[in-house]
Structure 1
Amino acid sequence: MTRRTIAILAIAWMILVVAVASSAITLHAVGGAQAVAANYETLDEVLRIIEERYYVEVEESDLLEGAIRGAFSPLDEYSFYYSAEEMTAMMEQASGEYYGIGVLVTMDGEGGILLSRVYEGPAREAGLREGDRIIAIDGEALSVNNSADLTAATAKIKAETQTPVLLTIERSEDVFDVEVERAQVEANRTRHAILENGIGYLEISEFFGDDVEGTRAALDDFVAGGATKMVLDVRNNTGGDLNHVVQIADMLLPEGVIVSVEDRYGQSQHYDSQASYYDLEIVVLVNGMSASATEILAGALQDYDRAVVMGTQTFGKGIVQDVIQFENGAGMQLTTMQYFRPSGQPVHGVGIEPDIVVEPDETYDPANYNIDPATDNQLREAVKYLENIA
């Protein structure tokens, strides 16, 4: 047995162990096992030929990593492999503390990165703002077409030390370079205020980091300030940690099922809320970038008639991913379950239809970070709706 074969079989065993940990595997036919073994032999032969005959030398570790990444190609865009460096960057992003520039990003659909939130910090000090697109990093053009590409691109923006990064920005019809000095960043996932008319406003940008603590603090402030109505803004919130959104939903829902998840074998699990909650009149603002965990929250609030959902149709990502880290620091993200609203309705490929459709108009500016109904017609309509509730 060659050294490479041993390595490949070790990888196969690692993947098998992960699979066995989550489900029972039944071997239906000896012929199937033989076919699998033959495929592994073919893979071993392919790697051997590449290593021996490719016109330039290729590191064996690079070949093996490429083979691992290739295993994800038949899967959905949310399932992929993390190198050790990418895994570290992802964990730092989730924690909210890292050396970076202080932005929340998403794919722009054109191969670049859209800045959906620019926090107080290096990026804002350098003049970047919401709605800007990053099209190159340190002179290297981006080609971000899936979640794995986005993770790899954001890893390039971060660093272990306080160093500069050169970003090529597209803003409207202008393209220009900006050098941003990386710094220790603490991203706040929530912000809140009590508006002039006494209505509370809470924005949750993603369900990671300090979102649970920030939400509870906001709700406590609303109660202390006499607010009985609230706008919950989850526009452009692409999701996050299932456990985080369940904790937040528990603060706003009566006793009952928040969400149900089901795996390929039909095994299901319910996440429930307790009886006590903050009893506020709520309008939830959503849009086409509201996805995944955000749709869990909005869907549950809608099903229990705890909120009016306003805005535009949500994204429709009703599946759950597990992140698994290996001993060498690398890892994988794998879609393992789909979820269903308390009503039993699926979300994946469907999304959530607002109770009241409000399209953004010319007054809406994604670069305007101020909480101002005068420049945000969807927020303005949410406030108007709440004002008319006795």
Structure 2
Amino acid sequence: MRHVVVVGASAAGLAAAETLRREGYDGALTLIGAELDFPYDRPPLSKQILAGTWEADRLALRTLDQLTALRLDLRLGVRATGLDPGLRTVRLADGDELTYDGLIVATGVRPRRLPGRGGHVLRHLADAIALRKRLAPGVRLAVVGAGFLGAECAAVARGLGCEVILLEPAPVPLAHAVGDEIGRVLSRAHTEHGVDLRTGVTVTGITDGGVLLDGGELVAADEVLVAVGSQPNTEWLDGSGLTIADGLVCDEFSSAGPDIYGAGDVARWHNPLFGVSMRVEHRTNAAEQGMAAARNLLHPGARKPFAPVPYFWSDQYDMKIHAYGYLRGHDEVRVVEGDLEERRFVAAYRTGDRLAGALAVGMPPKAIRPWRQAVVTATPWTEVPRVPEAPGRAVEA
């Protein structure tokens, strides 16, 4: 293997490039990124950058010297526009065409948008900086979508003195991921901090004066943030013959085709630990899958399935939220430590007859770390411990 191309210069792509070098690959290595910025961390965009407590230079994943040491052909500010696996070529928007021996696809996702003019999204550094400039005491911000991204931005905006309207089509925000009761507990934190939370509403478009609901009502706002999910960046793979279905479809090794691997937000792969296909948009998974893809590409005779326990975290007001496992599609939730009303608890999630994950709010990290190993070993639900002073409390999802 003499030339490896990595398309996508964020956490997954950079992790892949570093792993290739660390594993002894000494050939040509091209890293392609659509943004002009050097690889940077995205989770702080909706937290420290939006709040103005960090400067942008703190986001850099590596220094210039560290990137130089990787001996990269670093192509920033250029997109990949096409792939021919037969000829093993990647076409770029600047007209260049690269021939590869191995390819890692790490092109990430982009925010979904709504019809109409205006409105902010939050994916890139420039997005966070642009929105931060518009937030000031008294500014009325409408946040469309009460998922983790929308909730984090709503919390930051309240901390900056903005009036915040949080609009969510589901009856209970985040219920699909964490369950109804825990979704209501997390939502109460917003209402207690003065957020105007409106659930069961559908936004049909954005206007100069705010957002329009499906019944015709105008929700007035000075600024609008759209946080209604994302779309995998796979259009450049059209016509390549690779399978696309809400992401680049990969097997348990993260392989999408001959010497082609996917990593990060764009990759939908079969996770053998849970027996399901999943696409995970979390920072930790991006780096881990980038490393796994690089190893499997370099060592085809010793490939290992990529079977992680997904991990995510979120900061909202004084709430620290941590979760391990695959919580979507769960059948039951049980509080195993702490108290929901105090927003200080650990909850365990059942899928089928096994422990699928655990979520902690307001607890020290050590309270949830042991649950990761319990998920790895597919602990039977009958062995999930109950807190003696709060036994048997089960919540149907």
What is the TM-score normalised by the length of structure 1? 0.26
Larger Rg: 1
Question: Which has the bigger relative contact order, CA under 8 A and spacing at least 6?
Answer: 2
Higher relative helix content:
1
Higher relative strand content:
2
